[in-house]
Amino acid sequence: MTDSSLKKAWLSLSPDANEPEIASKLVMPEILKILGFDQQEICQEYFTGQGNQKVDVAARKNTKNDDFSHTKNNAALIVELKKRKLDLQSFNNPYKNAVKQLKGYLHPTSINCRKANWGLLTNANRIQLFRRHGRVVYPYTTNIELTADNIDEKISIIKNFIDNQTKALLIALYNNKGGVGKTTTTINLAGILSLPKPLGFGKKVLIVDFDPNQKDLSDLLDIQPGKLSLFDFYKDRKNLKINDVITQYRFREKYGFDVIPADEKFLKATATELGSIAKGSLRQALLPLKNLYDYILIDSPPGDSQFTHEALTAADVILMPSKHNGVASFKNAAMAMKTIFPALGESRRVYEPELADPTPLPIFFNGESITPAAKEQAQNAIKSIIQQAKQDEKIDLMHFFFPKWTKEQKNLEIFEMPSYAHIASAAFANRPAVFTSKVACEYYRNLVQEYFI
């Protein structure tokens, strides 16, 4: 069996290859070619649009009159290269800095990269694919170690992910503790995202109420079940249509979002019936919907149940509303990050190789008035949790709790959703507060602009 030209190119690299060599021998002629870009669709030293910042390589498909190698704008994919000898193992500083750099290139201020959905980080020894959806930049693959024997397979996996990209970002709303405002956040997020501009963002949103126990969401919005219940859909998912499970929630017949309502049948099911639902069923069920929506929000129950796992398994990223007044909720969050998410990630990877774990977004304090003293107390508690996780389990929770933290500027800021009576009381009126309150709109717009758009 002759080696592929990709493998030959990789083998031809010098052991201490630097970025230009990796670009010219491996990335441009081989990797990007496999990903479907030919030489006129690739640029080196691409201006990201933020000042004089440049990224090593960028690519985009050409259209009739638009030759990317000449126009050099609107890249679809960017590649950040590092020297081969740099240790890009996860959790080490060079890796963390490189990821930060890549995220910077995909930040909204990098005007010339606004259309880029994918970022590749590689030094020939390691490669990782990141996906960008609005403001969210998250790892799509694990931090893959490349060898001569596996390079064909790994690049093909990456190509497969890129070729099958879909529109939606799947967000699980999760917290081990109950009562933190997951459901309120879910419906108001969906509300503000789906409201037309300039009030909202004009996006197509689907909510999945996966908390059959509480059914808060479906009850709150007074959702009527669709033609088909989710439980019944699971009985014969190959021959039934998921679209029949979807109900529309419309406010004043004008705007709104779609809902897969909670299904009481899950509650009435026996343990055996529940146990007989194949793992990953929700993930599979949502697959055909990923090109119909911009956002799919999954409201998951608190705790560590089968339903929670199904919701997390289906998600790309995880949003964790929290309360500040208790170490327990931070410890729970840390625990989830250390054990639950990686375990589910492992399960997913058995048949979807190199797919990254579901990524947690930074926590935020939801609906509280926090005094400066209480805030400091919370920050100190969190600092010791981070310290302990670093020492004992070699896991870095810093950017989950303090996303703006840098060595130079030890920024301990955690995003806060202010407490606002109207948001909670809207529950009694069967509607998301954002549909009736301008202030609520402002608060949630702020949340969206911090995290998503």
Q: Which residues bind other proteins (CB under 8 A)?
A: 235-236, 238-239, 272, 275-280, 283-284, 313, 347-348, 350-352
CB of 445 to other proteins, least distance (A): 36
Q: Are 364 and 414 in contact (CB under 8 A)?
A: yes
CB of 283 to other proteins, least distance (A): 7
Chain position carrying tokens 């930040």: 107
Does an H or E element contain 340, and which?
none
Q: Report the 10 Å Cβ neighbour count for 223.
A: 20
**Cβ nearer to other proteins, comparing 10 with 234:** 234
CB of 337 to other proteins, least distance (A): 21
CA dist., res. 59 & res. 31, Å (int): 11
How far is C-alpha 321 from the geometric centre of its chain's CA atoms? Answer: 15
CA dist., res. 217 & res. 184, Å (int): 8
**Cβ nearer to other proteins, comparing 352 with 376:** 352
Tell me the backbone φ, ψ of residue 73, rounded to 5 degrees.
-140, 165
CA dist., res. 175 & res. 306, Å (int): 14
Residue 336 tokens read as: 């989830």
Chain position carrying tokens 């997951």: 182
CB of 350 to other proteins, least distance (A): 4
Residue 180 tokens read as: 């933190």
Residue 434 tokens read as: 């954002």
**Cβ nearer to other proteins, comparing 222 with 236:** 236
- Taking the alpha carbons at both ends of the chain, their separation in whole angstroms is 48
CB of 268 to other proteins, least distance (A): 18
CA dist., res. 332 & res. 326, Å (int): 10
CB of 237 to other proteins, least distance (A): 9
CA dist., res. 115 & res. 240, Å (int): 36
**Cβ nearer to other proteins, comparing 203 with 348:** 348
**Cβ nearer to other proteins, comparing 6 with 282:** 282
Tell me the backbone φ, ψ of residue 50, rounded to 5 degrees.
-110, 100
Pairing relationship of beta strands 321-322 and 364-368 according to DSSP bridges = parallel
Among 52, 169, 32, smallest CA distance to 110 is for 52
3-state secondary structure at position 246:
coil
CB of 67 to other proteins, least distance (A): 40
Q: For the chain, what is the radius of gyration of the CA atoms?
A: 23
Task: Name the residue type at position 414.
Answer: I
**Cβ nearer to other proteins, comparing 52 with 272:** 272
CB of 307 to other proteins, least distance (A): 15
CB of 343 to other proteins, least distance (A): 11
3-state secondary structure at position 129:
strand
**Cβ nearer to other proteins, comparing 290 with 390:** 290
**Cβ nearer to other proteins, comparing 95 with 234:** 234
- Whether omega for the bond prior to residue 139 falls within 30 degrees of 0, making it cis, is no
**Cβ nearer to other proteins, comparing 9 with 285:** 285
**Cβ nearer to other proteins, comparing 1 with 271:** 271
Q: Beta partners for 47?
A: 54
Rounded to 5°, the CA angle 350-344-246 comes to: 100
CB of 159 to other proteins, least distance (A): 18
**Cβ nearer to other proteins, comparing 351 with 428:** 351
CB of 284 to other proteins, least distance (A): 8
